[in-house]
Chain A
Amino acid sequence: MMRRSHAVKILGAALLALMFGCSAVSKTPSVPPKHPEDLPQGRVDCLECHKDVSAGALKPYANFRHSAVFINSHGTYARQGQNLCSSCYKSEFC
């Protein structure tokens, strides 16, 4: 019970930090919550429309082209942030 209380305090502090800290966050645009267009079936190639560095994910779009290499290593990218994945996929299917 003590441990759960400890976790609740940490979460409370984190929520307060988020509430008061939004003015101190980076001005870099976030990844939109949903991809603005429906994507075609099959493997997605971000480079068909996007160049350079992804907003929010802050890595080149070339990294996220759904090649065999990316499919094999996407967990590495997801551990640094889920937002780009979530704009197209439901995380329940990870």
Chain B
Amino acid sequence: MGRPTTVASPGKRVLPAVVAITLLLPLLFAGTALAADLSLSSKTYGLYYERELAGGQKDRYAPLYEYLSADAANLGGKPLSFHFYGWGRVDLGENSGSGSTSGEVGSIYLEYLHPEGNAQGKLGRFFLTEGAAMEIIDGAFVKATTPVGLGVSLYGGVPVEYSILDNTSGGDSLFGGRVFFVRPGFVEIGASYLKEDGTFQGKNREMYGGDLWLRVAPSVELTGQATYNRSVSEMASQRYAVRIVPGSTVDISAGYESYTYKGLFQPALNPAFVSPSVNPGDKVEVIFAIVDWAFVPGWTLEVAGKNIRHDKADPGDANRGEVGLRYSYNDKKDTAGLSAAFVSADLEENEYQEYRGFATYSPGKTRLTLDALTQQYKKEINGKKDQFQVVATAGYQLLAALQLSGNLTYTQSPSFQEDWAGLVRVTYDFAMSTGGKK
């Protein structure tokens, strides 16, 4: 489960150093600068939406977004690469966020991938999942596996965390690692540790983690993961599942997962994840089962159910069952589907039925999609017992690297009397090689 973030980074204080180091390091590899596989991706979104609130107030917004990523792989013919990803927003109308502009460097790092044993290293700003860690850091990460299957990973740096709470900031430093044993196709088991220095509800964060993947039979596997938050003396999260994959058409899984708000959200910096929005004493337990069955080529049936239990009475317990049918066609370029979900709950306001239908159509360079979703509530919310949303999309491939597309969305919901949204999207994907592959 990811950490909630917004835009105002304490990590910005180290970002200039990270950018400088990351950009300058390739110069150490003399002769590599001219040999690389380069790719650039730009997605420009012009969004317009107006919302009529329940009180009759009508708001209009026109933010312009740019999402930019650049990669240079095989630097000098070596397994070394450079990655960048960032985004920015400019409001052409009313402010759609805090201020009229915002943006973020999501990642900028050098990566070394050894051709064998998954040995690797990263340096810069990057997203990391490794055992107990699911973090964005300005720092370094290394990992290697020995010939006997024992391996180790280590990471450390300054966490990139954002806060919109007063007098609250992210951590000062973060480090950790994972030791593991892997036998290909049979087992992987790991133990991990993470420590973050900061003042999260008055304490540092210290986590212990364990993870397991075990193939007990050719088509049966067990998975498990657990993290314990030592700082608050709570199990933060657990997930255990059995999965049966008896061929290429059937996939079945069932299991149990749980998390405690106190353990999992200890470092949360967003009001939605701290008291009083959530009760820190609550514990959530889920029993789930999922079946995915491609019963005829092109046709897939999905059935899922889960029971959700809260320790605290206010959120209440609930059961959700859903069934869906998907059909892929046009040489798998297109998909159509129908699904229905039913939720029963302790509290009437949590009970609803949900129906969805969607289809795509891609003749030649054109792509058209239609997606409709409706929910019927058992109890009125703001005087309404249902909501629906329809999204229509049309796109055209102007050039091999250039695509133009647009969405039109209409919503009626308890929150908005009427909500129209339009989106124009320009996507540019460019790739070239200057001799990086050898």
Q: Taking beta carbons and an 8 Å cutoff, which residues of A are in contact with B?
A: 3-4, 6-8, 10-11, 14-15, 17-18, 21-22, 24-31, 33-34, 40-43, 45, 47, 52-53, 56, 58-60, 62-63, 65, 67-70, 72-73, 75-83, 90-92, 94
Contacts and interface: CB of A to CB of B under 8 A. Distances in A.
B contact residues, range: 35 or more
B85 A92 contact: yes
Interface of B: 2, 69, 73, 79, 81, 85, 106-107, 111, 113-121, 126-131, 134, 139-140, 142-147, 149, 151, 154-158, 172-175, 180, 182-185, 188, 190, 197, 209, 211, 213, 215, 221, 223, 225, 239, 241, 243, 245, 248, 251-253, 288, 290-292, 302, 304, 324, 328, 332-335
6 closest A-B pairs by CB: A26-B117, A25-B117, A67-B292, A14-B154, A53-B185, A67-B251
Given A53-B185, A82-B129, A11 B146 contact: no
Contact of A79 (B121, B131, B174): B131
Contacts of A78: 129
Given A25-B146, A42-B335, A94 B2 contact: yes
Given A73-B241, A73-B253, A92-B85, A24 B147 contact: yes
Contact of A15 (B140, B241, B302, B328): B140
B114 A65 contact: no
Contact of A11 (B139, B241, B290): B139
Given A7-B139, A73-B253, 16 more contacts: A4-B158, A8-B156, A10-B175, A11-B154, A11-B155, A14-B140, A14-B156, A18-B121, A25-B116, A29-B115, A30-B113, A52-B185, A70-B251, A77-B213, A80-B213, A90-B85
B333 A41 contact: yes
A14 B183 CA distance: 23
A25 B241 contact: no
A21 B225 CA distance: 29
Given A7-B173, A82-B129, A26 B145 contact: yes
Nearest to B151: A26
